[in-house]
Structure 1
Amino acid sequence: MPTAIAVTGADLVLPPTDPQTPPAAVLPGPETRPLDAAVAELRALTERHGHAIVVCPEWAPPATARRLHAVRSLLESDRIAIVRTALPPLGTAVLVRQLRQLSVCEFSPGVLATAARLLAHYVYAGAVLGSVARLDHVPVGLGSHLKGWLPGAHFAVLAGPEPRLVRLGSGGSGAGPAETLPGPAFTTDLVLARGQLTTDWPTADLAPAWRVRAVQEAALPESSPRWWGTGKLVEFAAYLPDLPVLHQLVSSVRRETCHWCRMELIGDRCGFCAAPLPTADPAPATR
């Protein structure tokens, strides 16, 4: 069985891109599931799959993260990784789907858990917003917040990997040649999720500028209006769609062994026990 990929909300599960992509397990929040039921659910998941990687966004309610850590402690299990990400909701859903794709490959659970940080750098996540007055997750200037109250103003916002905000024309038309969102330098697909904003800017302007290969539409994640500060939005995310490319990207990174739990990892921190790689001792001074 492949390593289980779990999420903290059903809105973070996108449809699979191919028949081989396994589903994600949805772990209900503490407000809907008692602690003993949550323990039994995660125990069954790890017994069935061997290991479980739970993607918990950094913007999830604090009670959700506390519940996950409590369950892992009660199980006394070293087979559960809790992966945090700062990506917005649709970008998080894309990352979860990529982990689901990779879970059927030969990667060990430790490599898979730590691949999330690497893959997040290749997700270009943003939105077209009707207002930025309540946008808290992306740094914008006071002037943009004030302009966000103007009627008819639309903004294109990139949350990552490089935060950027540009004001579009009335009705969401182009921002002009001097104002663009920095796009990926590699082939991507684009997924859109429409809220209560009518604009064709993502398909008419952004997709050609970023030279995306294909555009798909998905349901707007339930958490998106809260994350972006408005329900008047169209959320988008450009991403690496092909499994061979994802596989090559993860395979190209040097693997290490965690000195604490002995899990494999890529990067500088274990995905299961969170122990950092020990720093190399400085060379002794020579006389």
Structure 2
Amino acid sequence: MPTAIAVTSADMALPPQDERTLPAIVLQDVHRRPLEQALAEVQALLDQHGHLIVVSSLAAPAAERRLRTIRSLLESDRIALFRPALPPLALAVLARQLRQLASCDLGPGVLASAGRLLTHYLHAGAVLGSVARLDHVPVGLTAHAKSWMPGSRFGVVAHPEPQLVRIGPEAALAGPEFGTWLLVARGRLPGDWVTGTLAPSWRILGLRETPLPAESPAWWGTGRITEFCAYLPDLSILYQLVTSVRRTTCHWCGIDVIGDRCVFCSATAPVHEDDPRGRHRAPRQITPGHRMLTG
């Protein structure tokens, strides 16, 4: 059976991107249910799938504590907890990309490690009616003051590099240098600037909409928001990115991984000064046409 990909809330389980995308397993209210019930659910998933990858938000510390308790009680190194510092919509997109890859011939360690690699290819941001309570992107005094003016709107990119502009005729945000689709989640703010200005400037290949995640207002500091995320939708491209990275074997638990740390047992690869293979390797770049660079 394929490795199970789980999320901690239903709004992180986006609709399938294609016919191969596996359904997400929703560990709904895992921290609110009785421990015995949650423990039995996770044990059943391990019995059925062998390994479990849980994608959760940094804004859900209670869920993480419960999952760490479960992993400790089960004494299992087959549960990977992945909590990247991404906005809620981008986190849901990443979980879906892992669900796409779970249908391929990738081992659980490689699949779990792929999450860290794929974050480099997400461009996540929002249009906000106020940046007064925005904590995840640096806000200057001028922008902070202007956020109190009626009708002000701000374009913000939180990942991969922070950007903030006040929306006006000349406002622009730097975007991906390769072809992407755009997922848009409208809150209590019109999304016309995203669809009419941002998408063409980023040369978006396609656009889809989805409901705003429940955690988005808290993450962005306001309910007057339209959130967006540019992403790679094609399974073939995702697979090429992951398989282009050299694999190693975890010296502790013995599974194949990519990168310098096993996501399941948290062991880091021993690095020898005379071994160039232990050095950090930058993410693979791709061209606007989704062709791999061979350099």
TM-score (norm 2): 0.90
* Cα deviation digits, residues 244-272 of structure 1 (max 9, x gap): 00000001001111111112111121110
Residue 10 of structure 1, CA deviation: 0.9
After superposition, the C-alpha distances for 1:153-178 in whole angstroms (9 at most, x for unaligned) are 00000010011001003xxxx4x0xx
Aligned match of 1:51 = 51
- TM-aligned CA deviation for residue 139 of structure 1: 2.0
For 2:236 and 2:118, the matched residues in 1 are separated by: 14
* C-alpha deviation, 1:180, in angstroms: 2.1
Q: Which of 147, 170, 174 is equivalent to 1:182?
A: 174
**Residue from 237, 249, 255 that aligns with 2:247:** 255
Contact 1:59 1:86 in 2 (8 A): no
Q: 1:228 aligns with which of 212, 220, 227?
A: 220
**Alpha-carbon distance in 2 for matches of 1:7, 1:199:** 27
**Offset from partner CA, 1:39-61 (integer Å, 9 cap, x none):** 0011011111111100122232x
State the Cα distance separating 1:199 from its structure 2 match. Answer: 3.5
Superposition pairs of residues 150-161 of structure 1, within 5 angstroms = 150-161=149-160
Q: Name the counterpart of 2:284.
A: none
Q: CA deviation at 1:282?
A: 5.5
User: Aligned residue pairs: how many?
Assistant: 275
Q: Distance in 1 between matches of 2:141 and 2:94?
A: 31
Q: What residue in structure 1 maps to residue 82 of structure 2?
A: 83
Q: Which runs of 4+ in 1 moved over 6 A?
A: none
- Cα-Cα RMSD: 1.3
- Give the gaps of 5 or more residues in structure 1: none
Give yes or no for contact 2:8–2:30 (8 Å, CA) kept in 1.
no
* Distance of 1:194 and 1:208 partners within structure 2: 18
Give structure 2 stretches of 5+ with no counterpart: 276-295
In 1: Cα distance, 2:6 partner to 2:94 partner: 12
Counterparts of residues 2-151 of structure 1 (less than 5 Å) = 2-60=2-60, 62-151=61-150
Contact 1:126 1:237 in 2 (8 A): yes
* Cα offset, 1:29, TM superposition: 3.0
* In structure 1, distance between residues paired with 2:144 and 2:37: 44
- Please give the secondary structure, in 2, of the residue aligned with 1:57: coil
Shift of 1:146: 2.1
Question: In the alignment, is the contact (CA less than 8 A) between 2:130 and 2:224 conserved in 1?
Answer: yes
1:202 aligns with 2:194: yes
Matched AA of 1:261? C
Task: Give, in whole Å, the separation in 1 of the partners of 2:150 and 2:112.
Answer: 44
Q: Shift of residue 31 of structure 1?
A: 4.8
Report the equivalent of 2:262. Answer: 270
- Tell me, yes or no, if the aligned pair for 1:132 and 1:145 is still in contact at 8 Å: yes
State the shift of 1:142 in Å: 2.8
Any conservation in 1 of the 2:94–2:118 contact (CA below 8 Å)? yes
Q: 1:187 to 1:255 in 2, by over 3 A?
A: same
* Percent of residue pairs identical: 61
Task: Write out per-residue CA displacement over residues 198-257 of structure 1, whole angstroms, 9 at most, x where no aligned residue.
Answer: 240111111111111100000110111111111111000000000000000001001111
One-letter amino acid of the counterpart of residue 118, structure 2: L
Cα deviation for residue 14 of structure 1 reads 0.6
Corresponding residue SS for 1:196: coil
1:90/1:220 contact within 8 Å kept: yes
Q: Secondary structure at the match of 2:228?
A: strand
Q: Aligned partners of 1:210 and 1:4: how far apart in 2?
A: 33
Q: Is the 8 A contact 2:130 2:154 kept in 1?
A: yes
